């Protein structure tokens, strides 16, 4: 019987993490079944559109209970920064142990601060507004990028997405005498368009500003736990709704180099909760 690892995200961004994790476990974790769960409340309501923090936390707690009941996972990984900071405020003390990407990212950021000194975190309004990373990584600067995660899903790397990134970074960096030495992507969606951040950052000055996506490093660490049951690794995708065709096309484009099992699972999403 397969061991189930549940990966939770507030949208489709965490598929990038899940695909990397699946690639890493195939040879050494043949007994693992990855289940990626998009817990976005509905096709038209994101976590950012819920009325307040209390409503978001209540929604996440209810989702976790339902997902544990449905899938009986041995391991839960919250791949999403937004959900990780909300989970940290939930006070949950029972159920399957939960691993948070914010925990991994905090350690990673502290290492990067030693190397680069000045780091700029770019993330969603919930993540930036929580103050979590700023509290745990003193001296960290942050930039909220409202609407970018949704634009990446809806428009891929097209004009609106590129414009949001360009305008956001330029407003923060242009004519600044205190440029960061590196940019840290604090949203799983942002990794899909890392090259657009790099392009804009490189246009801001003579020196190239490194853009760091922590998701693959987190996936590599998560893959270190091994199981040997002699059956092929599997991946399933669960959600409340199937993405519209434009979003599906963009995800398939972003994940085009992933294992076929990942893109096949994306084409056969399970409406399971």
Whole-number pLDDT of residue 230: 66
Q: Which CATH number fits the domain that encloses residue 165?
A: 3.40.50.1860
35 and 95, same domain (yes or no): yes
Residue 131 has pLDDT above 80, yes or no: yes
Instruction: Please check whether residues 133 and 223 belong to one and the same domain.
Output: no
Query: If you average pLDDT over each of 181-195, 224-238, 248-262, which comes out highest?
Result: 181-195
Express each pLDDT in 52-107 by its tens digit. Answer: 999 999 999 999 999 999 999 999 999 999 999 999 988 887 788 999 999 999 99
Tokens of 170: 């330029």
Q: With bands split at pLDDT 50, 70 and 90, how would you rate the model's confidence at 206?
A: very low
Residues 145 and 158 in one domain: yes
Q: Residue 182 forms beta bridges with which residues?
A: 119
pLDDT at 168: 92
pTM (two decimals):
0.93
Q: Please tell me the predicted confidence (pLDDT) of residue 71.
A: 94
Q: How many domains does the chain have?
A: 2
Residues 9 and 36 in one domain: yes
Q: What is the dihedral of CA 221, 223, 226, 228, to 10 degrees?
A: -170
Q: Write out the two tokens for 171.
A: 């407003």
8-44 pLDDT per residue, tens: 999 999 999 999 999 888 766 567 899 999 999 998 9
User: 214, 229, 259: which is the final residue of a domain?
Assistant: 214
Pair (41, 119) in one structural domain = no
Mean pLDDT of 120-132: 95
Percentage of the chain exceeding pLDDT 90 = 72
Domain-ending residue, one of 173, 194, 214: 214
The DSSP string of the chain is -PEEEEEEESSSTTHHHHHHHHHHHTTT-TTEEEEEEE--SSSS--GGGSSSHHHHHHHHHHHHHHHHHHH--SEEEE--HHHHHHHHTT---SSS-EEEHHHHHHHHHHHHHHHHS-EEEEE-HHHHHHTHHHHHSTT-EEEE-TTHHHHHHHHTTSHHHHHHHHHHHHHHHTT-SS--SEEEE-SGGGGGGHHHHHHHHHTTSSSPPPEE--HHHHHHHHTTS----SS--EEEEEESSPPPHHHHHHHHHHTTTS-HHHHHHHHT-EE--
Q: Are residues 223 and 203 in the same domain?
A: no
256 with 233, same domain: the answer is yes
**Pair (226, 207) in one structural domain:** no
Distance CA 169, CA 172 (A): 5
Residue range of the domain that includes 192: 102-214
């Amino acid at each position: 019987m397969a061991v189930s690892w549940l990966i939770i995200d507030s949208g489709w961004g965490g598929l990038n993490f899940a695909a990397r994790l699946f690639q890493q476990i195939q040879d050494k974790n043949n007994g693992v079944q990855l289940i990626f769960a998009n817990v976005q409340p509905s096709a038209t309501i994101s976590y950012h559109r819920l009325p307040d923090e209390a409503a978001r936390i209540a929604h996440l707690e209810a989702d976790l209970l339902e997902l544990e009941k449905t899938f009986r996972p041995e391991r839960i990984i919250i791949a999403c920064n937004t959900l990780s900071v909300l989970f940290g405020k939930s006070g949950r003390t029972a159920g399957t142990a939960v691993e948070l990407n914010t925990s991994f990212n905090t350690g990673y950021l502290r290492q990067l601060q030693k190397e680069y000194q000045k780091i700029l975190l770019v993330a969603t309004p919930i993540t930036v507004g929580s103050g979590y990373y700023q509290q745990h990584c003193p001296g960290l600067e942050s930039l909220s990028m409202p609407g970018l995660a949704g634009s990446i899903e809806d428009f891929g790397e097209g004009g609106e997405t590129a414009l949001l990134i360009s305008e956001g970074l330029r407003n923060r960096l242009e004519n600044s005498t205190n440029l960061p030495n590196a940019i840290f992507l604090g949203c799983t969606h942002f990794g899909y368009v890392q090259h657009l951040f790099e392009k804009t950052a490189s246009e801001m000055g003579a020196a190239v500003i490194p853009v760091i996506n922590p998701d693959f490093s987190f996936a590599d660490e998560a893959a270190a736990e091994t199981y040997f049951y002699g059956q092929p690794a599997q991946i399933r995708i669960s959600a409340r709704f199937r993405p519209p065709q434009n979003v599906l096309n963009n995800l398939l484009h972003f994940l085009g180099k992933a294992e076929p099992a990942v893109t096949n699972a994306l084409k056969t999403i399970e409406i399971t909760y």
